[in-house]
Structure 1
């Protein structure tokens, strides 16, 4: 396993990041525990979750599964860089969502209880809160840091100007502010290259891509369809019907390079500027092993250029759309 620092921090994290969104809804608790054990065996030390995962309001099902895994002992918690998130509504009463100081305090304490730990290593804002001022947010986070309940703060789904706004407000308070940004980023969805990644690099945030296979479209979907392993419907079918030639070119290139399509997509992200590592949310052990294998793939300039030709990206703004 390869490791890197998370943004400008001294925190060492694995370049493969274990996403846990499927734990509970798609993957049983026993299988989830086995996947987390295998992740440690593979050298993965960075686990990502959120208080809303499990998708039953207020339950925090996925955090509870992780908490019971930590409770087994054996150094599980000590070996894990634990990231969770808040923002989504955890109840129907006012102040049970978003980023008010009250919800930050309550949501953090609830996550700590479910996760059976005394601190969160990376506490992330799952979405921008346009109604809460940054001074309020940072004051609440500063208190949590002083209490030892969290170590670092991160963002998710922020625009570039949100990152700048957050960091300038933190700077005025002589506070660290954000150390990471978690965004949708993959060969198909590359809009973050315009402003989010440049902003993250300017302010020293590590970029953590989510949906690195774009809902499985980069995981060999054409081949799976032809083999009868996957039936396309809804938006996936519409996308494949419209972009079949592009996806076929991609899967042919993966075959020529000797890599599985999904592993190639993950490896491409690991070669992008500012990227800490992609989050993969395995439902099975095989999917976890595939994510680990991608870390060892080295792509030369010719391969990267061919991928850019199939899936054209963006220059930083404003050069992408102006002179």
Structure 2
């Protein structure tokens, strides 16, 4: 396990933490809602893309500069902030104090719009940004040039691996205890749709019967056009037998440590990565109620050991910002078959 210390004075700024993959829902929450911490306790992740201020309007920055920042289609503004910022749960921060004149927010907290708003208690240098406003996951972002990673001296925690995906606790249910859709699922579906659009170049797809079609079918049908010549999609990954014949596109999990998509050995075909917890729920569903094979339960017999799963009143709607955020950062958006989507982003920016 590691700790992050101030690069200026050496003050420890975090509890011991271990690295995991950056969650796919990091930048995508539910508007006007207070969210829990993004990261699990004693973990951290790294965002390789530029994030945070300074921001430049697309028209000002230009397409070439935006592409160097990893944005390939017109957006309202492009981040020219630091790459490789480190995110931790607020509860794992140590020896940090708020900078009062940098605590702007929308209504219920701080959103980091003015840059780092946390200073090292040892030397007073701005080293991190606390974010906890409505619609945002609670986080502390450490600035990569202001901190140094050092061994904590504690035994290393077991590294997340593919085997974790077969454990029941890794599955992320699609519905929250209060009956609402999981915000993580909404974001994950938005992200996977963007990758499907890029891989298929806006062609129709055919989902396999079962959990994938049940949970993702409506979202996919609302995003990709219907028609003949649909590309086949099938789940693949740890604990699943290889699909034969191989579908045109494999729906695979992201590695819980690196975030890299799973691939069969020696396979170079098309894959679409999915949040590992969401994938685990689809690939390794929970046990279902042992209903009689025929007939019904005798009259007057009630069962409470297998309650019906919660079902929200509304249908699952992908997170639109997660879809847009992901698609404009995929170079495939520049392909000729995706010209209509590229044009749509351009029109949205010029009329903003």
TM-score normalised by length of structure 1: 0.27
Structure of higher CA gyration radius: 2
Q: Which has the higher helix share?
A: 1
